[in-house]
């Protein structure tokens, strides 16, 4: 029963991400008649796909960071229990795993600014 619950909790953010992405893409106006670009040709649904990409960048990087932190965090605590002098190494590895979510957030913001 715990395994089914863990699998459900693992896929819940993916389902929520897709629902939020579709809702955000439907609320964005796809009318680009006011803007003209001379370098690229854009279709009416470019803004929708950029919004979906921004949501996917934030959601998937956060999901990957949470999986990495859960694996690395438990190993770091175990290492600290055995050898307290490994604090800095353990802290560094956990901080690098947290940086993954920050990179995804930055990419999502940069994509969102392209709208």
Whether 77 is in a domain gets the answer yes
Whether 18 is in a domain gets the answer yes
The secondary structure of 16-55, three-state, reads HHHHHHHHHHHHCCCCCCCCCCCCCCCCCCHHHHHHHHHH
Whether 72 is in a domain gets the answer yes
pLDDT at 24: 62
Whether 104 is in a domain gets the answer yes
**What mean pLDDT is predicted for residues 66-77?**
87
Whether 93 is in a domain gets the answer yes
Whether 37 is in a domain gets the answer no
Range of the structural domain that residue 14 is part of: 2-31+42-113
- Collapsing DSSP to helix, strand or coil, 97 comes out as helix
Give me the CATH number covering residue 7. Answer: 1.20.20
**What mean pLDDT is predicted for residues 40-52?**
72
Tokens 């715990």 label which residue? 2
**d(Cα 20, Cα 24) in Å, to the nearest integer?**
6
Given a cut of 60, whether residue 56 has pLDDT beyond it is: yes
Residue 17: pLDDT band (50, 70, 90) is: low
pTM of the model: 0.60
- Number of structural domains, the chain? 1
């Amino acid at each position: 029963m715990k395994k089914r619950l863990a699998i459900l909790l693992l896929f819940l953010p993916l389902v929520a991400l897709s629902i939020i992405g579709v809702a955000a893409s439907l609320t964005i106006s796809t009318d680009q008649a006011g803007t003209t670009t001379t370098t690229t040709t854009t279709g009416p649904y470019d803004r929708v796909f950029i919004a979906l990409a921004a949501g996917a960048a934030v959601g998937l990087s956060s999901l990957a960071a949470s999986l990495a932190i859960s694996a690395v965090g438990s190993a770091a605590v175990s290492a600290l229990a055995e050898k307290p002098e490994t604090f800095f190494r353990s802290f560094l590895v956990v901080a690098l795993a947290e940086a993954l979510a920050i990179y995804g957030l930055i990419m999502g913001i940069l994509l969102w600014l392209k709208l």
